[in-house]
């Protein structure tokens, strides 16, 4: 009794810490681990070893995974190239296409809210004679298709627009973008990292030519990713960025990471089978979280389109409270903030700023990323905790006090520093 | 971010939270920072007109854990000091006391500015000659 007296009584279904940062990474599904285990020990062969049974077993497992992954996105197994993760996939796609098609043109189109793996790759290409258009987004985080249409010219070789955003969970009109690209004869690449396994993605129905994937966002292992590269209508060619043994149809040399690839395949298979029910469940949890927070707190704002959003994403600003101090108050809950107070610069999230949010609101944002292993009891616990801390911090906030007194904060001459 | 126990303690139990009557001649108010930079501190002092001793201090802060801790500590430190003594408090003392990580030194600078701004406001109200230092703060 004396030992129990000191530990807080938690509701059933809640164990601390609670993980709600599934956009960053996800817990591996035990079914995935189980599939992987034999490939570390008894089935350890190199998939490129063609002359003994160890190699054949590894190759067979890799080909099975290729099929599992392809099936999730409506592709064929031959169109899947393994990489170390989505950053490499994005680099390979963008640089590989830019290099391969440079005779045809030097113009690339992307958008301002892409992941850094895309933006920084594009910036590098700009130093090598490529021209890049960074499309703006509307207040809801979606690009305007008319902007895209206008941006495409006869030098455009590639459009790269992510399927779903990692911060605000906003889903772009991928099928419409794909259709437009195909009409104009431009290659369409999409960073599908956040979308794959969460919402239906079909490379043929959506006219996607190249697609970046990674395993660890869908309950698979870290350090393994893939690139879908269309083989017909049109056949897309990619210039290798890593040379060597000519693995992966010459597009990506390097010994295959067999256990992780097996896990990636299994993760995709599970995601495909459970996507419909899981999406509905996550959406229910997310809506519950939003409702609870909004019922108890004033001055909260949803960032990004609510209707075009991943089922597990809730990005919310708790205005007049700074994000990092909010995270400190819920230190047994893992979430992320778009505030920059954890970094050396004072610039808050560029994604939130691209929506037109003021820096003050961006500094106040929290990203909740719900996933397969979250439950309703956790949502209730987190909601109560956040409500308590926001109220406490607002008692401390001079801004909240001033607003409550009817002072217009925009009229104050702040000493910017 | 791994914070020191002192930062966490000030965050969990902030000292001297609140506000005093801004219009009182005995009260000096300093409001520094900006919402778009992610931190705003309001620090107030109540000065005994006879002794120039700061008898009471209050703060409210919008900002990260370090900003809250820095301003909370600042209110503790100015209390009981004369105005002249309070002006001696340096941001580096705050950094040391709270063991702030390098990226958070900014918060301690803001706290020092808040002290100076509050004293500057009090001096202005009471016609006390501004020191060169206080004038510099007001200008920046």
Cβ–Cβ gap A417/B33 under 8 Å: yes
- Helix segments in chain B, DSSP class H: 5-12, 65-78, 83-86, 91-98, 105-126, 132-139
Are the beta carbons of B38 and A340 separated by less than 8 Å? yes
- Residue A118: pLDDT band (50, 70, 90) is very high
Cα–Cα distance between A173 and A189 in angstroms, integer? 13
Cα–Cα dist A204/A199, whole Å? 15
- SS3 string, A144-191, reads CHHHHHHHCCCCEEEEECCCECCCCCEECCHHHHHHHHHHHCCEEEEE
> Residue range A199-211: average pLDDT?
98
Among B33, B38, B113, beta carbon nearest to A339: B38
> How big, in percent rounded to 5, are the helix, strand and coil portions of chain B?
50, 20, 30
**Cβ atoms within 10 Å of A266's Cβ, excluding its own:** 24
Instruction: Name the residue in chain A with its Cα closest to that of B72.
Output: A396
Query: Helices (DSSP H) in A53-128: which residue ranges?
Result: 53-73, 86-100, 116-126
Report the residue from B34, B64, B140 with minimal CB separation from A322. Answer: B64
Please report residues of B whose CB lies closer than 8 A to that of A366: none
Which helix (H) or strand (E) element contains residue A402?
Answer: helix A398-404
Block residue for tokens 């290729």: A66
Chain A residues closer than 8 Å to B23 by CB: none
How far is residue B17's CA from residue A386's CA, in Å, rounded to a whole number? Answer: 21
**DSSP per position, A14-42:** --SSEE-BTTT--PPPHHHHHHHGGGTTT
Distance CA A76, CA A28 (A): 25
Interchain pair B33, A363: CB under 8 A: no
Chain B residues with beta carbon closer than 8 angstroms to that of A341: 38-39, 63-64, 66-67
Q: Residue A346: its pLDDT value, please?
A: 67
Confidence check: pLDDT of B135 > 60: no
Q: Is A122 noted as a catalytic residue in this protein?
A: no
pLDDT band at B36 (very low <50, low <70, confident <90, very high): confident
In A, minimum Cα distance to B19 occurs at A398
Q: What angle do CA A32, A38, A41 make, to 5 degrees?
A: 135
User: What local confidence, expressed as pLDDT, does residue A6 receive?
Assistant: 54
A318 lies within 8 A of chain B by CB:
no
What pTM does this model have? 0.93
Task: Tell the burial category of B50 from Cβ atoms under 10 Å away from its Cβ (0-12, 13-18, 19+).
Answer: exposed
Complex-level ipTM: 0.91
Per-residue pLDDT band at A415 (split at 50, 70, 90):
confident
Cβ pair A342:B68 closer than 8 A: no
Q: Are A61 and A261 in contact (CB under 8 A)?
A: yes
> Contacts of residue B11 in chain A, CB cutoff 8 Å?
325, 328-329
Q: Is A358 in the B-facing interface, judged by CB distances under 8 Å?
A: yes
Q: Which residues of A touch B14 (CB under 8 A)?
A: 396
**Between B36 and A147, the higher pLDDT residue:** A147
Query: Do A115 and A166 meet the contact criterion of CB atoms below 8 Å apart?
Result: yes
For chain A, give the mean pLDDT: 95
Residues 246-285 of A with CB under 8 A from B: none
Distance CA A86, CA A223 (A): 9
Spatial distance between the Cα atoms of B12 and B41, rounded to a whole number of angstroms: 17
Structure tokens at A20: 């709600």
Q: What is each CA distance from A401 to A396, B14, B19, B21, in whole angstroms? A: 8, 17, 10, 14
Burial B54-66 (b: 16+ CB within 10 A, else e): bebbbbbbbbbbb
Which residue does chain B place closest to A359, by CA atoms?
B36
CA distance B107 to chain A (A): 10
Catalytic hit among A122, A181, A268, A341: A341
Cross-chain Cβ contact A398/B68 below 8 Å: no
Tokens, residue A106? 């030097």
Are B38 and A395 in contact (CB < 8 Å)?
no
What SS3 class is residue A196? strand
Q: Does residue A89 sit in helix, strand or coil?
A: helix
Stretch B66-93: mean pLDDT: 97
**Residues in a beta bridge with A309:** A170
Q: Are B106 and B92 in contact, with CB atoms under 8 Å apart?
A: no
Answer with the residue of higher pLDDT: A344 or A111: A111
Q: What is the pLDDT of residues A388-414, one digit of tens each?
A: 999 999 999 999 999 999 999 988 888
- Is any Cβ of chain B less than 8 angstroms from the Cβ of A359? yes
Phi and psi dihedrals of A412, rounded to 5? -85, 140
pLDDT tens digits for range B7-35: 999 999 999 999 999 999 999 999 999 99
* CA pair distance B12, B14, nearest whole angstrom: 6
pLDDT digits (tens, 9 = 90+) for A165-200: 999 999 999 999 999 999 999 999 999 999 999 999
Question: In angstroms, what separates the C-alpha of A269 from chain B's closest C-alpha?
Answer: 37
The strand pairing partners of A81, in sequence order, are: A227
**Dihedral angle sign, alpha carbons of residues B112, B117, B120, B125:** negative
pLDDT digits (tens, 9 = 90+) for A18-42: 999 999 999 999 999 999 999 999 9
Neighbouring residues of A407: CB distance < 8 A, sequence distance ≥ 6: none
Position with higher pLDDT, A224 vs A7: A224
- Per-residue pLDDT at A367: 97
Model confidence band, residue A387 (pLDDT cutoffs 50, 70, 90): very high
In tens, the pLDDT along A321-375 reads 999 999 999 999 999 998 866 555 668 899 999 999 998 899 999 999 999 999 9
Nearest-CA distance B82 → chain A (Å): 26
Kindly tell me if the per-residue pLDDT of A131 is higher than 70: yes
Please tell me which residue of chain B has the smallest CA distance to A342.
B1
Question: A384-391 long-range CB contacts below 8 Å, 24 or more apart?
Answer: A384/A292, A385/A329, A385/A330, A385/A333, A386/A293, A386/A318, A386/A326, A386/A330, A386/A333, A387/A292, A387/A293, A387/A296, A387/A297, A388/A329, A389/A326, A389/A329, A389/A330, A390/A297, A390/A318, A390/A321, A390/A326, A391/A297
pLDDT tens digits along A51-62: 999 999 999 999
Distances (CA, A) of A379 to A24, A75, A166, A285: 18, 36, 20, 7
Question: What does the pLDDT read at residue B131?
Answer: 55
């Amino acid at each position: 009794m004396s030992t129990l007296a000191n530990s807080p009584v938690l509701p059933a279904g809640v164990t601390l810490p609670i993980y709600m940062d599934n956009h960053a990474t996800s817990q591996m599904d035990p079914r995935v681990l189980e599939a992987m285990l034999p490939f570390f020990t008894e089935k350890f062969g190199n998939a490129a070893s063609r002359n003994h049974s160890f190699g054949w077993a590894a190759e067979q497992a890799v080909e099975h995974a290729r099929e599992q992954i392809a099936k999730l996105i409506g592709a064929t197994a031959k169109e899947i190239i393994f990489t170390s993760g989505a950053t490499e996939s994005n680099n390979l796609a963008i640089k590989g296409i830019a290099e391969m098609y440079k005779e045809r043109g030097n113009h690339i189109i992307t958008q301002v809210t892409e992941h850094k793996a895309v933006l920084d790759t594009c910036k590098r290409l700009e130093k090598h004679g490529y021209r890049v258009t960074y499309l703006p987004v509307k207040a809801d985080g979606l690009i305007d298709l008319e902007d895209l249409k206008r941006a495409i010219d006869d030098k455009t070789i590639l459009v790269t627009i992510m399927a779903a955003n990692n911060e605000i969970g906003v889903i772009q009109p991928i099928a419409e973008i794909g259709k437009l690209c195909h009409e104009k004869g431009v290659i369409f690449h999409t960073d599908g990292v956040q979308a794959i396994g969460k919402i239906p993605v079909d490379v043929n129905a959506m006219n996607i030519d190249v697609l970046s994937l990674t395993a660890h966002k869908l309950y698979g292992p870290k350090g393994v990713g893939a690139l879908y590269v269309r083989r017909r209508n049109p056949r897309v060619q990619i210039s290798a960025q890593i040379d060597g043994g000519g693995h992966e149809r010459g597009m990506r040399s390097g010994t295959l990471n067999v256990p992780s690839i097996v896990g990636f395949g299994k993760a995709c298979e599970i995601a495909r089978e459970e996507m419909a029910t899981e999406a509905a469940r996550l959406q229910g949890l997310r809506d519950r979280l939003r409702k609870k927070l909004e019922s108890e707190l004033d001055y909260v704002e949803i960032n990004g389109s609510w209707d075009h959003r991943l089922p597990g994403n809730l990005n919310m600003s708790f205005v007049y409270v700074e994000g990092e101090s909010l995270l400190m108050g819920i230190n047994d809950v893992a979430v992320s903030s778009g505030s920059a107070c954890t970094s050396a610069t004072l610039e808050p999230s560029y994604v939130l700023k691209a929506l037109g949010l003021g820096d003050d609101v961006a500094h106040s944002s929290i990203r909740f990323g719900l996933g397969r292993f979250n439950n309703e009891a956790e949502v209730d616990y987190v909601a109560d905790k956040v409500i308590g801390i926001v109220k406490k911090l607002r008692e401390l906030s001079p801004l909240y006090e001033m607003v409550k007194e009817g002072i217009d904060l925009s009229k104050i001459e702040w000493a910017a520093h | 971010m791994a914070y020191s126990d002192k930062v966490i303690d000030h965050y969990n139990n902030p000292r001297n939270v609140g506000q005093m009557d801004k219009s009182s001649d005995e009260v000096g108010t300093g409001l520094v920072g900006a919402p778009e930079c992610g931190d705003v501190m309001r620090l107030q002092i109540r000065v005994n007109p006879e002794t120039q001793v700061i008898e009471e201090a209050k703060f409210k802060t919008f900002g990260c854990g370090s900003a809250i801790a820095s301003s909370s500590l600042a209110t503790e430190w100015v209390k009981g000091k004369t105005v002249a003594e309070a002006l001696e408090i340096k941001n580096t003392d705050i950094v040391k006391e709270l063991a702030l990580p390098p990226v958070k030194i900014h918060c301690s600078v803001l706290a020092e500015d808040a002290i100076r701004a509050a004293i500057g406001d009090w001096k202005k109200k009471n016609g006390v000659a501004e020191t060169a230092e206080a004038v510099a703060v007001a200008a920046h």
